[in-house]
Amino acid sequence: MSVDRSPTLTEAVEAYAAGLAPAVGALVRQAASAVPAFAERVQQAGLTVDGLASGDLTSLPILTKDDVLARQQADPPFGGLLAPGATVRRVFQSPGPIYEPELDGPDPWRWAPALEAAGIGSGDVVLNCFGYHLSPAGAMFEEGCRAVGATVVPGGIGNQDLQARAIADLGVTAYVGLPSYLKALVDRFDELGLAGDRWRLGKALVTAEPLPDSLRSLLQERVPTVLMSYGTAEVGLIGYETAPGSGLLPGPGVHVSVCDIATGVPVTEGEGQVVVTLERAEYPLIRFGTGDLSAWTTGPDGSARLAGVLGRVGEAVKVKGMFLHPRQAASVMNGAPGVAAWRFVIDRVEHKDELVCEVVLDDSARSGDDRDRVLEQVRSAVRSGLRFAVGVKAVDTLPDGDAGRIIDARTWD
């Protein structure tokens, strides 16, 4: 008599990879035929397309964000990674800058399943509080909302008074954006004295920053359904919750692996880098390293799921839903007039990220008027160069070794 048992974690991960192997193998052949730069990448690695056609890509070196940036700088705009004749509807820019093409077709970033898991669909009015300026997140979620039949209010970031009033006036029923920003909107709605019976927002799909249990509990007092999702600017949806705390189910159209940081070999247990293969031959992000750390877990149904984003592989830090890299910070701050030394400090206050640039002023900028002018120049330079609103604080000294660094002082309890 056989006894049913749930699959082990290793078995679940191996079954997930095996199920996608035929599609990945076909993708490799199509991409090599359509995109010469990918065929060259395979050849430079000492491999053959036939050798990768089984769908096992372990021997192919990981493509990093720095690799993509270098390719784009050498061969603008897309580094030769886009198939000739591919239809591009929009082009976005992420810090680096890295340019991301939005390819033709419905819901090209594949967010619809995550929205449906949160109960968002036809008849919903969704307040989209991701940015629409240069970065792709706002457009990504708009495409997904349209695909599930929802009406979109393009809120973007900022203007919380107007957004809170729109929630009341338009009967907004759902939200997509940062979890901390949803908390700010709930607070602003109440501060404006808007009638409680005009709050109909009952569903939220959040991403781009952690969702600790304490914040989820606070949000669920007003928004019963709050689910987490995970994606990147280059790839779109990677994984999403089907229930609170269920782990992130890998999304459609993308093959996900967790790889040993040192070797790049996929692992089934323990932490590693999230490495993805996007199933679009005309823009083959194959074995693309996101730079995010995660680990495999199993969902309620025994399926392989990601345990969320557990950190970063490199020096880049995600703050307010966007990446801040020391190299980019240095390009803005080094040589800034009146600044002798600087560092950025990220903290978490009332479930919101706060970014402060601490500067040591040189002798030319210590008087009152000069001091204020330099601090305002730094604030403006960071806003335009890094796209972050930042507090700027003059200090006498910086701790040893902190000059030119990004200090992450956040806790997520």
Render 387-407 in DSSP notation, one character per residue: ----EEEE-S---TT-TT-EE
pLDDT of residue 94: 85
CB 83 within 8 A of CB 282: yes
**CA neighbor of 295 nearest in space, from 228, 247, 362, 352:** 247
Specify whether 272 is located in the same domain as 329: no
pTM value is: 0.81
Residue 285 falls within a domain, yes or no?
A: yes
158: amino acid identity, one letter: G
For CA atoms 104, 106, 111, 113, the dihedral sign is negative
Each residue's pLDDT tens digit, 91-107: 999 877 899 999 999 99
Q: What Rg do the C-alpha atoms of the chain give, in angstroms?
A: 23
Residue 242 falls within a domain, yes or no?
A: no
Domain edge (last residue) among 229, 262, 286: 229
Each residue's pLDDT tens digit, 282-312: 999 999 999 998 999 999 999 999 999 887 7
Domain edge (last residue) among 294, 312, 330: 312
Residue 291 falls within a domain, yes or no?
A: yes
pLDDT cut 70: percent of the chain above it: 97
Residue 168 exposure: Cα atoms within 13 Å on the Cβ side: 17
Specify whether 301 is located in the same domain as 349: no
> Which pair of structure tokens corresponds to residue 350?
């009332």
Specify whether 176 is located in the same domain as 144: yes
Specify whether 177 is located in the same domain as 258: no
Instruction: Give the residues across from 288 on adjacent strands.
Output: 63, 276
**What CATH number has the domain bearing residue 382?**
3.30.300.30
Specify whether 287 is located in the same domain as 338: no
Each residue's pLDDT tens digit, 135-147: 899 999 999 999 9
Overall number of domains in the chain: 3
What is the helix (H) or strand (E) element at residue 33, kind and residue range? helix 9-34
Q: Which pLDDT band, with edges at 50, 70 and 90, does 281 fall under? A: very high
pLDDT of residue 1: 46
**What CATH number has the domain bearing residue 218?**
3.40.50.12780
Eight-class DSSP state of 168: H
pLDDT of residue 408: 84
Axis-axis angle for helices 36-44, 9-34 (nearest 10): 120
Lowest average pLDDT, out of 41-50, 144-153, 218-227, 346-355, goes to 346-355
Burial of 165 (0-12, 13-18, 19+ CB in 10 A): middle
The predicted model gives 236-246 an average pLDDT of 97
The predicted model gives 104-130 an average pLDDT of 97
Residue 96 falls within a domain, yes or no?
A: no
The predicted model gives 359-387 an average pLDDT of 82
d(CA 173, CA 151): 10
Residue 246 falls within a domain, yes or no?
A: no
CB 172 within 8 A of CB 125: yes
d(CA 152, CA 311): 32
Residue 164 falls within a domain, yes or no?
A: yes
Q: Is the pLDDT of residue 59 over 90?
A: yes
Category of 57 on φ-ψ map: left (φ > 0), alpha (ψ -120 to 50) or beta: alpha
Specify whether 265 is located in the same domain as 330: no
Residue 67 falls within a domain, yes or no?
A: no
pLDDT of residue 4: 61
Specify whether 118 is located in the same domain as 225: yes
Domain edge (last residue) among 269, 284, 312: 312
Averaged confidence pLDDT in the chain: 91
Torsion angle, alpha carbons of 135, 320, 179, 182, to 10:
-80
Better pLDDT: 397 or 279: 279
Residue 234 falls within a domain, yes or no?
A: no
Specify whether 385 is located in the same domain as 401: yes
Q: Is the pLDDT of residue 323 over 80?
A: no
CB 320 within 8 A of CB 382: no
Specify whether 124 is located in the same domain as 186: yes
Specify whether 127 is located in the same domain as 220: yes
Parent domain of 150: 112-229
Specify whether 162 is located in the same domain as 192: yes
> Which pair of structure tokens corresponds to residue 167?
């929630």
Specify whether 120 is located in the same domain as 223: yes
